[in-house]
Amino acid sequence: MPPLIDLSPSDLAALWLTLKLASVTTLLLLLVGVPMAWWLAFTRSRWRSVASAVVALPLVLPPTVIGFYLLLLMGPHGWVGQFTTWLGLGTLVFTFAGLVVGSALYSLPFVVQPLQNAFQAMGQRPLEAAATLGASPMDRFFTVALPLAKPGLLTATVLGFAHTVGEFGVVLMIGGNIPDKTRVVSVQLFDHVEAMAYPQAHGLAAVMVVFSFAVLWLLYRKRTEPLGGC
Amino acid sequence: MPFARLFPLSLLSLASLLSAPVFADDVQVAVAANFTAPLQAIAAAFEQDTGHHVVASPGATGQLYAQINNGAPYEVFLSADDTTPAKLESEGATVKGSRFTYAIGTLALWSPKDGYVDDKGQVLKGDTYQHLAIANPKTAPYGLAATQVLDHLKLTQATQSKRVEGQNITQAFQFVQTGNAELGFVALSQVYKDGKITSGSAWQVPQALYDPIRQDAVVLNKGKDNAAAKAFVEYLRGAKAAQVIRSYGYALDAATH
Amino acid sequence: MSPPIELRAGLVRPGFSLDVNLSLPGAGVIAISGPSGSGKTTLLRWLAGLEPADTGFIRVNGATWEDTASRTCTPTHRRPIGYVFQEPSLFPHLTVAGNLAYGWRRLLPRQRTLSQAALCRTLGIDHLLARRPDGLSGGERQRVGFARALLREPRLLLMDEPLAALDTERKAEILPYLERLREDLAIPVIYVSHAAEEITRLADHLVLLDQGRVTASGPLNDLLTQLDLPLARSLDAGVVMEGQVTGYDTQWKLLHLSVGKGGVTLRVPHHERPVGSRLRVRVLARDVSLSLDAHSHSSILNRLPVVVGEQAGGEGLVDAIVALDCKGMPLLARLSRYSVAHLGLQPGMQAWAQIKGVAVLG
């Protein structure tokens, strides 16, 4: 009887690549998403609702649509592709960097929205108080805003990471299935199914399910507080 | 279909002898994505000639296989390869003896740029391109054929770093068409119509360089008693269909037609 | 000599505008009062740098904090202010000690002069240092808020209705702390409130705002006795004075207070206070009656010679308010119009004021 989980070296490589992609994407999204969420939370500009809708688009658009337009935009005829070529970087399609960009766009609302909610819940008052106590804008951000937004920060990180791990449609469109560069787990799984290699597919899928469950459980576990005194 | 069952088979046979049958039926056909366009043309002619209507469901062969195994209502299956119908046959999911090769796929090396691909494929050896698109060899017969060609030409090592894989032949084509890959191995049918290449430049890869891409059709158990299914399969083997298939750049199996 | 605090602000918002021009003293408690919507909080927030004004000028003790004409504007965190908000706005992620240290840590060592321990004792919060804000009562939180603002060693303390969010008991509990602070502090305090109780107990200078405009600004007692202001005509009209204890009559339990510049002595039934200590007292207009001669046989403890000043109609014009001057110390008396006419009271006349009740504040 074959082993329950049968992971080939190529499966492991795909897992490792996926973890790398999710980590880099989440980091990038936090760096970009925090200022974005901050602006969305506190601005009084009339562009706010437009910007919010744009940020939320990836929630609604099919990933293959996002992927397809990225394929065109990042390709040699699209303006992003022409820009990157001009910078001497070639095109982003078929590269790890391209996947990072695609994943970041795809997971953007999952990072920005929890952060925005956390900042809005905090409100302006703690920041005003900090300012009257002599804290500069950067100071207030790190000593007051971030600590108070910690739950939202945690949610944003976990959701962004988990969402990128599960990403398929975008990668499919712009990845090219290159081992160690763009062959992530979701595509690997799909390939096993297509090639009717079901035991391998089961094995990989099991790993993904367990991993996703563990991540989400950790996230929800930290949230609940016991009711009552005993 | 249930409607037809109410009438004796003799009446149905009589009807099928006449050019315009009294009772028209539906036949559910699962078809490999790459054959969708020719199928539509054949289906139109078929309906005109027999009155039966073809309901086509295009898809990736592997997915169609999984669906068939899980109760999909397909009656005829036009695969992109020959191994999948053979598998279904060995699993007892098909009508015995109904399997045949309906088309032979041909490979082409193509670029949307005029004059880029020479008619001997020498461009492969050069360094003018960064990405060569092929279909995933593990899941698409055209992809497998492409790797066979590269092996034959002893170019596997040289092109390894430039290879990008599309999930299927359609995606491989997409990579080339959008310019992300300068050239790629596509199905001839994707760039060929009525005797010539529709756009860009191509090398029609000689059949000797790769195993023939036999695309087999088979009648599934669900279509066993459907006269329309039987009629369709017959039509597919007929002269009219052969003409259409050829015009799309496929080759024909002498044994079939 | 130019006044220590100069403020000029103009701003327009939907449905509201502010237009003020104030010169304020550089010490003591400056109360800003007015009906809700008059712009008190907006003015305070602008002064703190939390709201922008269309045109603004702020000069505090020689330093210009804002001047829209020359496009200079010191941001909030660089203004040497302390701010106490209406709702205690402590940082929930820090303990009380952490909150107190927040402003203090951002000072240069040479700027730190206050003793945190002494201040905590004064405000009664020294036993709370390890607690978190959500484990404190409203009153405790607000006291921590005062301490936190003070530990920043500001040169101007701003308080926005700091007691408004508390119930009567908490208010009564905290006012003494504020009075104590008032004595200890050498810096000016701008205190927004519409509670008469707080103003009479704490303010030295009063600014009245109405619909974004200043209707009066001056020393507290001046405004209280100004007959053309509604304050002097209200039911609680009266005067507030600083007095110094000169002695105590242990037999009759009477406190002797010297008030005003003229050294007028008041005798007040009260428990003992040390000689020399300063107290604030209030005399309500309705507790003052007038007589043309000095009765000695009367239950009234305090009879003072006064000069009659102007008069005005009381609330509802049923009675009259008469301004009096006792050796430089102003008083108000509320009399029936009949009495005013009957006694033939005219400005400049000599008379005797009988003070039935003196309230010692704090």
pLDDT at C1: 47
CA nearest to C233, candidates C346, C354, C317: C317
Predicted confidence (pLDDT) at residue A226 exceeds the cutoff of 70: no
Q: Which residue of A has its CA nearest to B178?
A: A72
CA distance A42 to chain C (A): 14
Is the Cβ–Cβ distance between A89 and A81 less than 8 Å?
no
| Chain segment A57-80, per-residue pLDDT in tens | 999 998 888 888 888 888 888 888
Chain B neighbors (3+ CB pairs < 8 Å): A
Query: How high does pLDDT run on average in chain A?
Result: 87
Phi, psi at C104, each rounded to 5°: -60, -40
Burial, A139: exposed, middle or buried (Cβ in 10 Å; 0-12, 13-18, 19+)?
A: middle
pLDDT at B185: 93
> A132, A140, A150: best mutation site toward chain C, by most C Cβ within 10 Å?
A132
Below-50 pLDDT ranges, chain B: 20
Cα dihedral C41/C45/C46/C49 (nearest 10): 180
Q: Which of B60, B87, B180 sits opposite A93 (nearest CB)?
A: B180
CA distance A215 to chain C (A): 26
Burial A156-192 (b: 16+ CB within 10 A, else e): bbbbbbbbbbbbbbbbbbbbbbbeebbbbbbbbbbbb
CA nearest to C126, candidates C195, C172, C177: C177
Q: Which residues lie below 8 Å from residue A17, measured CB to CB, with a gap of 6+?
A: A96, A180, A181, A182, A183, A184, A185
Q: Does A121 touch chain C (CB under 8 A)?
A: no
Q: Which of C49, C50, C102 sits opposite A133 (nearest CB)?
A: C102
Q: Do chains B and C touch (3 or more CB pairs under 8 A)?
A: no
- Residues 56-75 on C with a CB inside 8 Å of A are 75
CA C162 – CA C192 distance, rounded (Å): 8
| Chain segment C73-99, per-residue pLDDT in tens | 999 999 999 999 988 899 999 999 999
Q: Which residues on chain A are in Cβ contact (under 8 Å) with C102? A: 130, 133, 135, 143
* DSSP annotation string for B156-167: HHHHHTTEEEES
CA B12 – CA A53 distance, rounded (Å): 59
C5-233: what fold?
A: Rossmann fold (3.40.50)
CA distance C5 to chain A (A): 19
CA distance B222 to chain A (A): 22
pLDDT at C318: 77
pLDDT at B58: 87
Q: Which of A71, A172, A195 sits opposite B180 (nearest CB)?
A: A71
Cβ contact (<8 Å) for B136 and A172? no
Cβ contact (<8 Å) for B138 and A194? yes
Q: Which residue of C has its CA nearest to A123?
A: C89
CA nearest to B60, candidates B169, B134, B194, B186: B169
Say what percent of chain A tops pLDDT 70. 93
pTM strictly above 0.95 = no
Q: Does A139 touch chain C (CB under 8 A)?
A: yes
Chain C neighbors (3+ CB pairs < 8 Å): A
Phi, psi at B53, each rounded to 5°: -110, 130
Predicted confidence (pLDDT) at residue A182 exceeds the cutoff of 70: yes
State mean pLDDT over C115-127: 85
Say what percent of chain A tops pLDDT 90. 42
Q: With respect to residue A70, please indicate whether it lies within any of the assigned structural domains.
A: yes
CA C230 – CA C321 distance, rounded (Å): 11
CA distance C3 to chain A (A): 24
Q: Which residue of A has its CA nearest to C147?
A: A133
Q: Does C92 touch chain A (CB under 8 A)?
A: yes
Cβ contact (<8 Å) for B166 and A177? yes
Query: How high does pLDDT run on average in chain C?
Result: 86
CA nearest to A76, candidates A66, A89, A91: A91
Is the Cβ–Cβ distance between B112 and B176 less than 8 Å?
yes
pLDDT at A4: 54
CA A66 – CA A68 distance, rounded (Å): 6
CA C241 – CA C260 distance, rounded (Å): 7
Q: Which residues on chain A are in Cβ contact (under 8 Å) with C146? A: none
- CATH class of domain segment(s) B107-204: alpha beta
| Chain segment B94-151, per-residue pLDDT in tens | 988 889 999 998 899 999 988 888 888 888 888 888 899 999 888 888 899 999 999 9
Block residue for tokens 């100071």: A139
Predicted confidence (pLDDT) at residue C163 exceeds the cutoff of 70: yes
Q: Which residues on chain C are in Cβ contact (under 8 Å) with A145? A: none
> A10, A65, A79, A194: best mutation site toward chain B, by most B Cβ within 10 Å?
A194
Q: Which residues on chain A are in Cβ contact (under 8 Å) with B139? A: 191, 194-195
- Residues 95-124 on C with a CB inside 8 Å of A are 102-103, 106-107
CA B111 – CA B77 distance, rounded (Å): 31
pLDDT at A222: 66
Block residue for tokens 């891409």: B213
Predicted confidence (pLDDT) at residue A159 exceeds the cutoff of 80: yes
Q: Does A135 touch chain C (CB under 8 A)?
A: yes
- What token pair was written down for C345? 């009271």
| Chain segment C167-198, per-residue pLDDT in tens | 888 888 888 888 877 777 788 999 999 888 88
CA A94 – CA A98 distance, rounded (Å): 7
Long-range contact list for C134-143, CB < 8 A, 24+ apart?
A: C134/C92, C136/C96, C137/C170, C138/C88, C138/C165, C138/C166, C138/C167, C138/C170, C139/C166, C139/C170, C139/C173, C139/C174, C141/C88, C141/C90, C142/C84, C142/C88, C142/C166, C142/C170, C142/C174, C143/C174, C143/C177
Q: Which of A132, A135, A136 sits opposite C48 (nearest CB)?
A: A132
pLDDT at A136: 93
Residue ranges of alpha helices (H) inside chain C are: 40-48, 96-105, 116-123, 138-150, 168-184, 196-202, 220-225, 230-233, 337-343
How many inter-chain contacts (A to B, CB under 8 Å) are there?
A: 63
Q: Which of C77, C81, C82 sits opposite A135 (nearest CB)?
A: C77
Residue ranges of alpha helices (H) inside B76-224 are: 83-90, 141-152, 156-160, 169-177, 188-191
Cβ contact (<8 Å) for A125 and C107? no
Cβ contact (<8 Å) for C103 and A148? no
Q: Say if B2-104+214-247 and B107-204 have the same CATH topology.
A: yes
CA distance A202 to chain B (A): 14
Phi, psi at C277, each rounded to 5°: -75, 150
CA B174 – CA B180 distance, rounded (Å): 9
CA distance A146 to chain C (A): 10
Q: How far is CA C352 from CA C17, C115, C222, C290, C307, in A?
A: 47, 50, 22, 6, 8
Cβ contact (<8 Å) for B175 and A193? no
CA B248 – CA A162 distance, rounded (Å): 45
| Chain segment C218-277, per-residue pLDDT in tens | 998 888 888 777 777 777 788 888 888 888 888 888 888 888 777 788 888 888 888 888
**Domain range list for chain B:** 2-104+214-247, 107-204
CA C48 – CA B34 distance, rounded (Å): 71
Is the Cβ–Cβ distance between A181 and A17 less than 8 Å?
yes
Q: Which residue of A has its CA nearest to B131?
A: A94
Q: Would strands C278-284 and C288-291 be described as parallel, antiparallel, or unpaired?
A: unpaired
Domain with A145 in it: 10-221
CATH code assigned to B2-104+214-247: 3.40.190.10
Q: Which residues lie below 8 Å from residue C22, measured CB to CB, with a gap of 6+?
A: C5, C6, C7, C8, C207, C214, C217
Q: Which of C83, C87, C92 sits opposite A132 (nearest CB)?
A: C83
Per-residue pLDDT band at C57 (split at 50, 70, 90): very high
Cβ contact (<8 Å) for C148 and A126? no
Q: Which residues on chain A are in Cβ contact (under 8 Å) with C49? A: 131
DSSP bridge partners of B215: B103
Say what percent of chain C tops pLDDT 90. 22
Cβ contact (<8 Å) for B62 and A193? yes
CA B43 – CA B25 distance, rounded (Å): 13
Cβ contact (<8 Å) for A125 and C81? no
CA B171 – CA A174 distance, rounded (Å): 10
CATH number at residue A89: 1.10.3720.10
DSSP bridge partners of C11: C18
State mean pLDDT over C27-35: 90
- Other C-beta atoms closer than 10 Å to the C-beta of C173 total 17
- What token pair was written down for C88? 């205690």
CATH code assigned to C238-361: 2.40.50.100
**Kindly report the CA angle at B120 between B117 and B126, in degrees rounded to 5?**
60
Q: With respect to residue A210, please indicate whether it lies within any of the assigned structural domains.
A: yes
CA distance A146 to chain B (A): 42
Cβ contact (<8 Å) for C107 and A129? no
AA letter at C179: E
CA C351 – CA C345 distance, rounded (Å): 9
**Domain range list for chain C:** 5-233, 238-361
Q: Which residues on chain A are in Cβ contact (under 8 Å) with C76? A: 128, 131-132
pLDDT at B115: 85
Q: Which value does ipTM take for this structure? A: 0.83
